[in-house]
Amino acid sequence: MTAREAALKALYDIETKDTFTNAALKNALNTDLSDNDRGLATELIYGVVLNKTALDYIISRYSKIKLKKMSPWVINILRLGVFQIYYMDKIPHSAACNESVKLANKYSHRAGSGFVNGVLRAFSRESEGFQFPKEKGMAEYFSLKYSYPLWMVEKLLDEYGEERCEALFEENRRSHGVFLRVNTLKNTVEQALVTLENQGISCEKTEVENCLKVTGKINVDLSKAYSDGLFSLQNISSQKTIEILDPKAGETVFDMCAAPGGKSCAIAEKMENRGRVLSFDIFEHKVELIKKSAQRLGIEIVDARLQDAAEDCAELYESADRVLVDAPCSGLGVIHKKPDIKFKRTAEDVEELCRIQKRILSTASKYLKDGGVLVYSTCTILPEENRVQIENFLNEHKEYKKVSEEQILTTERGESGFYICKMVKEKNED
């Protein structure tokens, strides 16, 4: 099987079975592909999903048949072909056309290959000068060119402006680095660097303590260092959240929305495995994931329990030194690795998420001791889930004061988009 055929099958599953891109990619890479073909298949799958609206617009300009009349096989063959022609400089147009025709011969009816050939060659002749229309304004232009829902573009433009938005949309088209968190309960950063290098994994230090950026390739399924619990995979933005929370050995810390456990384990490592970390989740299978993560890392202080973070638990009132609310959110900061988010999230979803976030924050506020630290974080970049959410919280909870606030965009340092706000509960002098 070729990379293009593996990509086509994955795209077909995404289109017809509502398979998530990550799952479809995993299935595609389980086929007998060379390393080069695995890389090409990955680029094709993510590229088509990320740019689906733009690709469909181009196809509609060069096809006499409406998209809704095409079979899922044909439309995805065309998407693959147009993506290669318009977005991939290293692939000759002739190769993109010829390979697409081969796929059409196998996965379409007799006339399908001629149709695919005609559309792709017509676009190929004009692709160098092709432009998306701007007549209806920048919101619709960005929505079309970068394949974002219009409501999402309008919200982002209001908050960040045209220049930052365009940089963000461009950045989300690129692959981002893989980051590791060194488990300092089992090794130092320096020891980890040597161990990983000996196992063929090249890394470099970052500005965040115990965070390494992978500079080569990594497969954790084949990594002895990973199975031995020497490190975890965790984005640098997530690690920065724990750095800002700054947990201390011997403290009691709550992680309100903990699964799959990365932040809970990072907290425990910072605490030198001394103290208590209560980790909540509403699903039993996710609670088990937290426990397994802690076990792999040799962590004993994480107490993972089945609990709804939005529901009060009176026995926990004023018992925590620090509380982390890594809230459920729209996830718009991680579109670069989860492109499905663009097409699965709705404005109504965001409204419901904001209500849930508000409830969790309110509950979390009751668990802190006087002088305790509350950190609120999300992996989104929408103001109503971040800045506005905190403004409303502080207006309703006068005992809390904001210490720091940061909105990270993927345009800034190649990190995932993230929001982190640190607050302190002031001591009651009465």
State the virtual CA torsion across 358, 359, 360, 362 in degrees, nearest 10. Answer: 80
The single residue of 165, 203, 211, 379 carrying the catalytic annotation is 379
Return the sign of the alpha-carbon dihedral for residues 95, 99, 100, 101: positive
How many whole angstroms separate alpha carbon 248 and alpha carbon 274?
9
How many whole angstroms separate alpha carbon 342 and alpha carbon 347?
11
Tell me which residue of 46, 66, 149 sits closest to 115, measured CA to CA: 66
**Active site (annotated) includes residue 421:** no
Burial 373-400 (b: 16+ CB within 10 A, else e): bbbbbbbbbbbbbbeebbeebeeebeeb
How many whole angstroms separate alpha carbon 30 and alpha carbon 41?
11
Strand partners, 406: 420
Q: Give alpha helix (H) positions in 324-422.
A: 341-344, 347-367, 387-396, 410-413
Q: In this structure, what token pair is assigned to residue 126? A: 């004009």
Q: How many degrees, rounded to 5, is the angle at CA 152 between CA 151 and CA 154?
A: 65
How many whole angstroms separate alpha carbon 181 and alpha carbon 283?
25
Catalogue the active-site residues.
379
